[in-house]
Structure 1
Amino acid sequence: MTTTATTTARRAPAAPGGVLRQMLRERVRSLLWWSIAVGALAAITGGSYPTVKEFGSGFDEMMEQMPEGVSEMLGASSGLVTPDGYLNSQFYSNIFPILLLVFGIMVAAWTVAGAEREGTLEPLLANPVSRTRVALERFAGVAVLLAVLTLVGTGVLAALRGPFELDPLGLNVFAAVGVATFLLALLFASLTFAVGAATGSKGAAIAVGAGLAAATYVVFALSAFVDFFDDLRWTSPWHWFLEPSPLTDGWTPASTLLPLAVIVPAVVIGTAVFARRDLR
C-alpha cells in the first residue's frame, strides 16, 4: 500500500458522488492511454476499408468458399466489402469488444477486491460512507470508464465515416452498435465486480469474468458446427450481441435489454454480500 493511495482514500469526499469522482481521478491517466490506443485502432481499421473495398470481389469469393458457420463466427455474414460486414468482421465482433473486456474486467476486479487486497479499501471506509455507496459508486466508475472508451472507438469511426467511405452507415447505427458493445463489456465487468465484492478475491473475480467471457464465446463460435452448442446458443451474450448485428439491424432488444437482465442482479447481489461480509 502506498502512502499516496492511503491519503487519497482517507480524503474521499463524503458528498454524494465523491467516491465516484475519486475513482475517476485515480484512473484518468490510464484512461487517456487506453483512449489513444483505441482511437488509433479505430482509425486504422476504418482507414483500411477503401483498400479492402477496392479489392472486394476477391475477399467475397474467399468467404463464399468457407463454411457458413465460419462467416457467422467472424461476423462476416453480409460479406467483407459492405461497410457493416467489414466493421463487424474486423472490429466489432472481435478486437474492440475484447479490448473493452480486458479493460472492464481489470478495473472491475480492482474496485472492491483489488482495493481490499492492496489495503486501500479500509481507509476509504473510514470515511462517513457506507459500503453500499462505495460499491455502487465504484461500479458506476467502471461504467463511466467503459462508456468513454466505447465512445472513443465508435466516435472515431462515426466522425470519419465520410473519408473512410462508411457513409451508408448512419449515426443511429453507430449509436446502436456502440451501446451494444458497451453493454456486452459491462455485463462481464458486472460479473467480475460481483464475485470480487462478494469474496474479496481479485483472482476469483478475474477468473469468473474472463472465464465466462471466453466460455460463452466458445458456445457462440461452435454453435454453427455442433448441435449441442447450437441448443445453448441463446445463453451466450455474444449471440445477443452479434445475431442480429446492430450494424445491420440497428437497435435490437437482445443486444440492449438482455445484458441489463444480467448486469442489474449481479451488481445488486455483489453489493448486498459485500455490505455484510467481514473484510480481510
Structure 2
Amino acid sequence: MKGGIILVQMLRERRRGFLWWSLGIAALAVITAASYPAVKDAGRGFDEFMESLPEGVVQMMGAADGITTPAGYLNSQFYANVFPIVLLIFGIAAGTWSIAGAEREGTLEPLLANPVPRWRVAVERLAGVTLLLAMLTLIASALLVMLRDPFELSELSVGNLAAAGVGVFLLALLFACLAFAVGAATGSKGLAIATGAGLATATYVVFGLSSLVEFFENLRWSSPWYWFLSPSPLTEGWTFQAIGAPLLVLVPVAVIGIAIFHRRDLT
C-alpha cells in the first residue's frame, strides 16, 4: 500500500463528523469573542465577584488575571475550560477509535490483512488524530485572530494567540495519545477512554486544588493543566512549560503504544 493511504482513508471516514465539530467550535469561538465587549462594559463588578472566590476556584477558572482584560476573559471563558474540554472529548474519542475502537468493530483486521506493517497503521492513524485536532484548533485560533479588532480584543498579539492555540492543542493531544496508546496496547476501548478521560480529570483536580491544599501544591508539576495555564500563553507567549513539556510526555507515550501494538497478538 502506498504511504499515506491509511491516513487519507481515516480522514475520509471522519470527514462528516469533523464538519459538525468544526462548525460547533467555530460558533463557540465567535460567541465567546462577541461577548467580550459586554463583559468589559460591566467592568469592576465582574472583577470584584472573581476576587470574592477562593483562590483555587479562580485558578481553575483561569481568571487569575481578572475577567475584564482580553487575556483574562479568554482564559476564563475559553482556554481554561470550554475549549480544551471540547478538544479533549474529540481527541480521546478519536484516539480510542483509531485502534481499539476499530478492533472492536471488526474493521481493523481487514486493514491489517493488506501488505502493510502494523506500526504503519498505528502511525498513520495517530497522525490522523493529530491532524484533525490541529485543524479544529486552527479554526478557533484563526477566528479569534480575525475577530480581535471587531470585538475589542486587539490587545492580544497574534503571537500570543498562536501560542495559546498550540498549547491547548498539545494539552488535548497528550490525553488523546494516552487513550490511543492504551487502546493500541490492550485492544480495550473502555480502558482507553477511562485512561484518557480519567487522567485528564484527575490532573485538572490536582491543578485546581494546588492553591488550596499543600499536598496537591507539591504535585502540581505533574499536571498538564498547570503546564498550560501557569502562566498562560496569552500573557507569556511561547513558554517551554506550555509547549515543550507536553511534547516530552506525549511522544514517548505514542512510541510505546505503537511498539506494543506492533508485537501484540490480535488473535
1:131 Cα deviation from its structure 2 partner: 0.2
Tell me the residue number matched to 2:101.
Answer: 114
Could you tell me which residue of structure 1 aligns to residue 265 of structure 2?
278
1:180 is matched with 167
1:257 to 234, 240, 244: 244
Amino acid corresponding to residue 193 of structure 2 in structure 1: I
CA distance in 2 between counterparts of 1:69 and 1:207 reads 26
8 A Cα contact 2:55 2:212, kept in partner:
no
Identify which range, 153-162 or 223-232, moves more after superposition. 153-162
2:181 equivalent in structure 1: 194
- Give the 3-state SS of the residue equivalent to 2:116 in structure 1: coil
Which of 193, 198, 210 is the aligned partner of 1:211?
A: 198
User: 1:120-169 CA distances to partner (integer Å, 9 max, x unpaired)?
Assistant: 00110111111000000000000000001111112111111111110000
Q: Where do 5+ consecutive residues of structure 2 fail to align?
A: none
In the alignment, what sits opposite 1:156? 143
Q: How does 1:38-53 map to 2 (within 5 A)?
A: 38-53=25-40
Distance 2:246 2:96 in 1: 19
Partner-residue secondary structure (3-state), 2:231: coil
Residue equivalent to 2:211: 224
In 2: Cα distance, 1:77 partner to 1:41 partner: 22
Deviation at 1:193, TM superposition (A): 0.5
Q: Confirm or deny: 8 A CA contact 2:63 2:73 kept in the other structure.
A: yes
Matched residue count: 267
Cα RMSD for the two superposed structures: 0.8
1:93 aligns with: 80
Which runs of no fewer than 5 residues in structure 1 stay unpaired? 1-13
Runs of 4+ in structure 1 over 6 Å off: none
CA–CA distance in structure 2, aligned partners of residues 194 and 64 of structure 1: 41
- Find the counterpart in structure 2 of residue 168 from structure 1: 155
Query: Following the alignment from structure 1 to structure 2, what is the Cα–Cα distance between the partners of residues 254 and 110?
Result: 29
Q: Quick one: distance in 1 between partners of 2:220 and 2:110? A: 45
- Superposed CA deviations along residues 161-200 of structure 1, whole A, max 9, x for unmatched, are 1111100001101110000000000000000000000000
Q: Which amino acid aligns with 2:245?
A: L
Give the structure 2 partner of residue 146 of structure 1: 133
3-state DSSP of counterpart to 1:112: helix
Q: Tell me the TM-score normalised to structure 1 length.
A: 0.94
Match for residue 60 of structure 1? 47
**CA displacement at 1:71 relative to structure 2:** 1.8
The alpha-carbon deviation at position 261 of structure 1 amounts to 1.0
- 1:70, CA displacement in angstroms? 2.4
What displacement does 1:28 show? Answer: 0.8
**Structure 2 equivalent of residue 3 of structure 1:** none
Aligned partner letter, 1:15: K
C-alpha distance in 1 between matches for 2:71 and 2:234: 5
Matched residue type, 2:132 = L
- Between the aligned partners of 2:208 and 2:48, the Cα distance in structure 1 is 22
SS in structure 1 opposite 2:121? helix
Aligned-pair CA distance for 1:226: 0.5
CA shift at 1:39, angstroms? 0.3
Alignment partner of 1:129 is 2:138: no
**For residue 186 of structure 1, what is the amino acid of its counterpart?**
L
